[in-house]
Structure formats: structure tokens, C-alpha cells
Chain A
């Protein structure tokens, strides 16, 4: 008799209050707040929704692609990286997924990350620059190289996967012969600084950048047509290798940008995991929020609240109605 009663109670509990069940399952989790704006925003949106809607206890830890990935891979901490650019960690990630240490939960950027060579839009219009070849005809338009007689091609920060790719694009396009110098930007902050500087002074700027980013929400930039198709074989065998002998200009593939979670989180988090699986937004949304952020000097937290208020139609689709109600109440 006692046994029947107990199991009925359990069954009732399980049937009637899934949200309550989530409280118990979710517990405390850690989310990586990456050091670039779009990922920081995503981390805060997750934090607010998971805490208010699902009753999790979310701790944010600062992160960057390589260290966060390595820590998730080796130590199972933090539980979740909301925005992981797969190209940057391709091989180790594939291996970690295969060995079951990391689970790819969702594709957070629905249209993927866009990488390429960019110039300011006003410059492109003024000089009719549409393709990379057009731009390379005018090294005098792009100051910033150490040798002032040369044009500057701002490269990717040291140690990022794009460093090798960018170098190969530079060599492949014959930019050196056309009077360009590859400027190593050292860090993302410095790369941003060089773009801001050029925009302030209304100077030309040519270099590697990617979307969605605050910089592209803030300064109007045009992505140059490389006049080359993406070629998977050439890309994998040559473009990503730092010592490729004969690189050719190759269009960037659209980067997959995923939310990655640890196996432990995927197993324990239940309902919260369903949320993470359905969460995705477009580059336009993110660019818009990032531009808002810069304009208002807002923190990731401010921007997350602004997003939840402004774009209800987007996030309410990620969660069941009763969770949406709870989040709305907390705003």
C-alpha cells in the first residue's frame, strides 16, 4: 500500500510540475562569459533566463576561446560556452565530441559567423572598391604600415586560427608585390583600436574582421568580394596551415558558431538543456544589440535586459510559455 502511494505521488509530481522538476535538476551551473561582446551578451541572456525561468543558480566565469575550451575539455568546467567559434578549435573539438567529453548543444548564430576582409564603406564608395583586387590596386589609401610607403593589411591577432588563414590570403593575393605589408595586430583590442583610429581620422583601413561584432555595428564596413569560391579541400590542406607553400585566395566558409556544453551538464541539466538546444539568434539581431551597447556604453548585463525587453518575439520561442511568464515577471 505504502509503495503504491509513494509511486503515485512521484508520478503526480512528475506529471504536474515540470518547472519544479527543473528547479531540482538544474542546480548550480557555470557559464563562460567570453571576452568579446556577442558572447558576453549571450552569457548574460542565458544567465537571466536560466535563473529567472528555470531557477538555476548561474555563475559566470570569464573566458576566452582556447582557455575556456581547454578547461571544459580537461576539467569539465565551466559547464557551458555559449558562443564557441568552431573554426578556432576545430580538431580538438571534434575529438572531444567524439570522445563524449563535450556536447554541441546548438548553433547559436543561425546564419553563422561571417569572416572576411573589410574596408570602410565610405572609402569603398568613394573609390569604387568592391573586390579585394580593387583594393589592392591602391596601397596609398591604406596607411598604418611600419614602412610608410606601403599599404597596411591588418591581420588577425596572434595565436588565433585566423592568423594562418589571413597570412595565406595575404600571400595568395600577391598583396606584398602590390605594395602591402601584413601588420600583425597582436590582440583583438588592438585590432579594434586600429579600426576606431582609422574611422576617427577618416583614413582608409583594410584588414581581417568578423561579424557579429560591436565594431561592425558601430562603424560601417564593407566586406570585400574575394572573387574566389570556397574550396574545402584547398582550405583544409593549405589555407589553415601556417606553412602552406602556395596559397591562393579562397573565400572564407561561413563559420559555425555553437553553444558547447560539458557532458556532465548535458546529463544533469535536463530542462535547461532543452532551452540551450533551442536558443539561436541572427547576426542582425546581435549586431543591433552590440551597436546599442556601444552607443550607451552598456554592460553585457544591461544589454541582456534590453534584448529581453526589446525582442520578446525571439526569446519567447526558446522557452515554454510558463517559463517565459516567469522571465517576463522578472524584467
Chain B
């Protein structure tokens, strides 16, 4: 027996297998492409709406609204002022429109990730079987090289925002799911016992005990999700998503060092603004619940 050469499938059958799967996928895109596209059409409309709102409104108004939103969430003059300054600099260097596109994209992706992710995380925390089922899927989503699924997504949805959002959400949703799960599981059992002793239903336990106590961990998850969707901006631009990723890609391909760094820094600026704002918001939520006690 040959122990050096690994006993592998014959080239012919491997090829036949790949061809069968490929043509199966092709048939699937032919049969379901239109339907899937129709399902995701509202997403496209939402994205276009937000983007147009940010780009076509007077910039000073957009800046004021963003600053107000940041202040309302963080209640910190320092963060609001810093954000305004950062956005002014970014705009002055000619990246306003791309920045607005990226903000729209990241905001929508984060929203989707949170809306889908927190319930999934809660389900995972409630059931060990669910946990065992979802964890490997999350591992796959985080490690599968994104181009592997980007091209099939393009085959179904074409180029543009929707495939971009799907790719970003796939990559960015795991932290919020994982940390929601973790946060709820870490709630001390004696606290839950106490809640049970007071006769709370499982819904009350979840809403009034587990979620509030898990909140710092969940907020850390949301935070990570935002960071990861920003990190995906450049990859998403490879399938035609407009925004700060495109000039970065262009700069990489043409070796325009300054252009790459400037647009990269604009992404960093958005990341820091969103990070500080959500963190301050998370802290405020906690204080709020503590005061309520």
C-alpha cells in the first residue's frame, strides 16, 4: 500500500462532482433568482432612501441631525463635538459623499444584524441544542473567505447594494449573537432563583432580569458588529458597493498611498464615532436601570 500518497478521489469523479454542484447552483439561480430578488427589493429601497436623504439634503442639516443623534444617544458634549469635527475634516478632504454612503450602509447593516442577532442569541441562551446547532454556523460565517460566498450572491442578486448588505451582515452578525448568548448565560443562577421565587414568568425573567443584566455584554456585541461591518466596507466595494471602500480599492490597485490612507482614516473616523456613541449609550442604559432599582 502506498502510504506516501493520500488515497484521494479520482480526478474525474471530483470534477464530475464539482460540475454537478455548479450546474445545480446555476439551475437554482435560474429558478429562484427573481423571487429572491423580489424579497430583498424593500431592502434596496430602504438603502437608497437613506443614502439619498444623507447625500441630497444640505450638508449642514445632515451634520446637525447627526450631531443631535449622537448627543441624544451619548449625552456627551465631548463625543458630539469630536464627531462634528471629524466629519468636517472628512468632508473638507472631499470624502463627504462617500462617507455618507458608507454611514448609510453600515447603519442599515448594523440594524439588520441587531434585529436578527439578538433574538437568535436569546434562543441560543435558552436552549443548549440551539446553541450546539448555531455555533458551528457562526464559526463558518466568520472564517469562510468572503469571496467564496460573494460570487454566488452576485450570481443571484447582481452587483450593488443588496449583495453588499448580505455579505456584510453574514460577516458582522456573529458577535452580537455570541455575546447576547454569553451575556444571558452569565446571569447568576441565584438571581434567577430569586426572580422565580417572586413568581415571575419566563418572559418576565427574560425581560426584567436577564436582558438588563446582560446588557453590557450585548452592547459590546453590537459594538463589535459595527466595527466588523466597517471592516467589510472595502470587501463589499469589490462587488460594486459604493462608498469609502471604492477609493480604497482604487488606491490599492494603483498604489496611491495618500488616497488609500485618507479614505482608510475616514473609515476609522466613522468607526470611532459609532464606537464611542454606542458605548456611551450602553453605559447610560445601565445607569438608567440601576437608578430604577
Contacts and interface: CB of A to CB of B under 8 A. Distances in A.
Pick the most buried of B18, B26, B158: most chain A CB atoms within 10 A of its CB: B158
Contacts of B22: 297
Interface residues of B, number: 35
Interface in A115-135: none
A160 B237 CA distance: 14
Interface in A100-148: 143-144, 146-147
A186 B253 contact: no
A187 B44 CA distance: 21
Contact of A186 (B48, B241, B251, B254): B241
Nearest to A70: B255
Interface in B153-193: 154-156, 158-161
Contact of B30 (A154, A187, A194, A200): A200
B255 A158 contact: no
B33 interface: yes
A197 B155 contact: yes
A194 B255 CA distance: 27
A298 B253 CA distance: 28
A144 B158 contact: yes
B33 A201 contact: yes
Contact of B239 (A70, A147, A187): A187
Nearest to B164: A186
B29 A186 contact: no
Interface stretch (B118-126, B127-135, B242-250): B242-250
Nearest to A92: B255
Contacts of B242: 184
Contacts of B255: 66, 70
Given A70-B255, A190-B159, A200 B240 contact: no
A154 B239 CA distance: 12
B147 interface: yes
B241 A193 contact: no
B238 interface: yes
Given A70-B255, A184-B242, A144 B250 contact: no
A3 to B, nearest CB: 51
Interface in A147-164: 147, 154, 157-160, 163
A108 B146 CA distance: 34
Contacts of B240: 183-186, 190
A190 B154 contact: yes
Contacts of B252: 159
A189 interface: yes
Interface size class, chain A? 20 to 34
Contact of A296 (B15, B44, B156): B15
A71 to B, nearest CB: 11
Given A185-B240, A189-B147, A197 B249 contact: no
Contacts of A186: 159, 237-241, 246, 249
Interface in B211-251: 237-242, 246, 249-251
A297 B254 contact: no
Nearest to B157: A197
Interface in A287-331: 296-298
A265 to B, nearest CB: 23
Contacts of B238: 158, 186-187, 189-190
Nearest to B154: A193
B19 interface: yes
B291 to A, nearest CB: 47
Contacts of B111: none
A83 to B, nearest CB: 17
A158 B151 contact: no
A19 interface: no
A298 B15 CA distance: 8
Given A159-B253, A190-B239, A201 B159 contact: no
Interface string B28-45: 011001100000000010
Given A186-B241, A190-B239, A297-B15, A196 B155 contact: yes
B251 A201 contact: no
Contacts of B34: 201
17 contacts: A143-B158, A144-B158, A147-B48, A158-B249, A159-B249, A184-B159, A186-B241, A187-B249, A189-B150, A189-B238, A190-B238, A193-B151, A193-B239, A197-B29, A200-B155, A201-B34, A297-B19
Interface of A: 66, 70, 143-144, 146-147, 154, 157-160, 163, 183-187, 189-190, 193-194, 196-197, 200-201, 296-298
